[in-house]
Amino acid sequence: MLFLNQLLLTLHNLTRWALLVLAIIVLFQALQGWLNKKAYTDKNRKLAGIYSGVFDLQILLGVTLFFSKGWSSALMNGGSEVMSTAAVRFFAIEHWMLMLLSVVILHIGSSKVKKNDTDVKKFRNTFIWFGISFVLVLAAIPWPGMAAARPLLRIFGLAF
């Protein structure tokens, strides 16, 4: 079980960086396309789809970690204790709720982009909806300096 947990944490951590890089690329292209009135190409659509797929994978890994690490039982059995400790509350409540909200906003935005009839609207909606989702992701990451801080890079128990 320890190896599986280390594997999940490693994958979750590495996927986080892929997600952040993809988000920055998608947002940059969306802003550039919106402001410069570029054509929304198949490349833009595919990149947004890859970003969405990586985010879905990240959520799946996170949900698996949530239940394997016992956060759900901690909430059920000691709710007031969980709520009184910032680091525990972050992972038991805040982290996963913000991430879940973020992925829902991302998918709503993806749906809206597909329904737009002009390229400018597609880029604008991509930038707005994916941007809101990205801000929530940034707020939900346990950055160094936070009470719930985690290493920036964690590979099989090795922290960097």
Tens of pLDDT along 118-160? 999 999 999 999 999 999 999 999 999 999 999 899 898 888 8
Q: Is 30 exposed, middle or buried (0-12, 13-18, 19+ CB in 10 A)?
A: buried
Alpha carbon distance 148, 160 (integer Å): 16
The DSSP 8-state label assigned to residue 117 in this structure reads S
Kindly indicate the confidence band of residue 26, based on its pLDDT and cuts at 50, 70 and 90. Answer: very high
Residue 152 φ/ψ, nearest 5 degrees: -65, -35
Residues 6+ apart with CB under 8 A from 148: 86, 87, 88, 90, 91, 95, 142
Q: What is the mean pLDDT of residues 29-44?
A: 98
Q: What is the mean pLDDT of residues 51-56?
A: 98
pLDDT score of 88 more than 70: yes
